[in-house]
Amino acid sequence: MLEKNKIEKLFFDSIEVKESIIKKDLLYSIAEMGEVVSQSIMSGNKIMFCGNGGSAADAQHLAAEMLVRLRPKNNREAIAAIALAQDTSTITACGNDFGYDFLFERTIKALGREGDVLIAITTSGNSKNILLAMEAAKSMGIKVFAFLGCNGGKALGLAEKTFLVPSDDTGRIQESHITAGHALMEYIEDKLLEEQFIHLSNQN
């Protein structure tokens, strides 16, 4: 019974954080991001995602939702997106040759183009490799958005738009990030379908 209570508390804590986000009216930034990203995609640009650890998994998850399929009912054309945590060879080579701090900055400089959008995902807002990527993106004319937690850290001052989770619990922050990420991807998909930039197909 004790273990069940611990699990139940975790669920209630997660719900409480999400309810706090709604009560504090923090979701408007998701719609704002969705509009900008949609316009970027329709202009021939792409979304780039970066994060560390669980946030790297979220970055890959959201990129896959765009490249492949987000909702089973919507078999549609691919949407240009990429997660900057590339293959293990790239990650380990950069870590060994230049230092892990420079991984995302280097990939941004190689793959990013003016008009693209970078979505940085960081629970602390202070990861050096994320901050360097954000700075590089801004210098290249790339729109910089951030999914943050705690007090936003240094990343708060580098992002044009932010989704800031009012919590300092890493697990609860990440749970809110992926919920917001899904909401943002659905917004983008709906917008692109509405504008007939992408089309539904009969592909299973």
Q: Is the pLDDT of residue 3 over 90?
A: no
Q: Residue 139 and residue 112: Cα distance in Å, rounded?
A: 11
How confident is the model at residue 1, as a pLDDT? Answer: 54
Q: What is the 3-state secondary structure (H, E, C) of 138-190?
A: HHCCCEEEEEECCCCHHHHHCCCEEEECCCCCHHHHHHHHHHHHHHHHHHHHH
10 Å CB burial of residue 174 (0-12, 13-18, 19+) is buried
Query: How much is the average pLDDT of 179-198?
Result: 97
Helix axes 170-194, 54-67, angle to 10 degrees: 10
Local confidence band at 169 (pLDDT 50, 70, 90 cut-offs): very high
pTM of the model: 0.94
Domain boundaries, the chain: 2-194
**What would the two tokens of residue 50 be?**
């970066």
Closest CA to 80 of 65, 58, 93: 65
Q: Does domain 2-194 have CATH number 3.40.50.10490?
A: yes
> What pLDDT does residue 202 have?
65
